[in-house]
Chains A and B, each alone.
Chain A
Amino acid sequence: MKINYNFAFFDEGSKREIRRATLKAIAIPGYQVPFASREMPIARGWGTGGLQLTLSLIGKEDVLKVIDQGSDESVNAVNIKKLVKATTGITITGITTEATIIQSRHRIPETPLKEGQILVLQVPLPEPLRYYEPSEYETKKLHAEKEYSGAWLMLFEQIMNYGHMSTGADHPVMVHDRYVMAPSPIPRFDNPKMNCAKALILLGAGREKKIYAVPPYTRVRSLDFEDFLFEAESFQGKSCRQCGATGVYLDEILDDATGKTFYQCNDTGFCMQRLNGKPC
Chain B
Amino acid sequence: MALDLVHDLQRAYRKTVDSMSRPGLITNIKAQADKVDLEIGCFKSTVVLVQMLFDTEVTFKVVSKREAEITKLLNQLTYAKAAEAQTADFILVLRDAGPFGLEKALIAACPGDLTDPHKSSTIIVEADALSNERDLALAGPGIDAESHIKVQTTGNWVGLRAEKNSEYPLGIEIIFTDSDHNLLCIPRTTQIVKQVVG
Contact = CB atoms under 8 A, between A and B. Distances in A.
Contacts of B122: 23
A141 B115 CA distance: 6
A143 B52 CA distance: 30
Given A28-B189, A33-B118, A178 B53 contact: no
A269 interface: no
Contact of B52 (A16, A115, A118, A145): A16
A215 to B, nearest CB: 4
B52 A19 contact: yes
A37 interface: no
B72 to A, nearest CB: 21
A22 B55 contact: no
Interface residues of A, number: 45
B95 interface: no
Interface residues of B, number: 38
A176 B140 CA distance: 9
B21 A215 contact: yes
A66 B39 CA distance: 42
A118 B15 CA distance: 13
A127 to B, nearest CB: 14
Contacts of B11: 59
Contacts of B55: 13, 16-17
Interface in B147-185: 168-169, 173
Contacts of B53: 16, 19-20, 23
A116 B18 contact: yes
Interface of B: 5-7, 9-11, 13-14, 16-18, 20-22, 52-55, 57-58, 113-118, 120, 122, 141-144, 168-169, 173, 187-189
28 contacts: A12-B5, A12-B6, A12-B9, A16-B53, A16-B54, A17-B55, A17-B57, A20-B53, A22-B17, A23-B53, A27-B20, A28-B187, A34-B118, A56-B13, A57-B14, A59-B14, A115-B22, A140-B115, A176-B189, A178-B168, A179-B169, A215-B21, A215-B189, A216-B21, A216-B22, A217-B141, A217-B143, A219-B141
- 5 A-B pairs with least C-beta separation: A27-B187, A144-B114, A218-B141, A215-B142, A24-B118
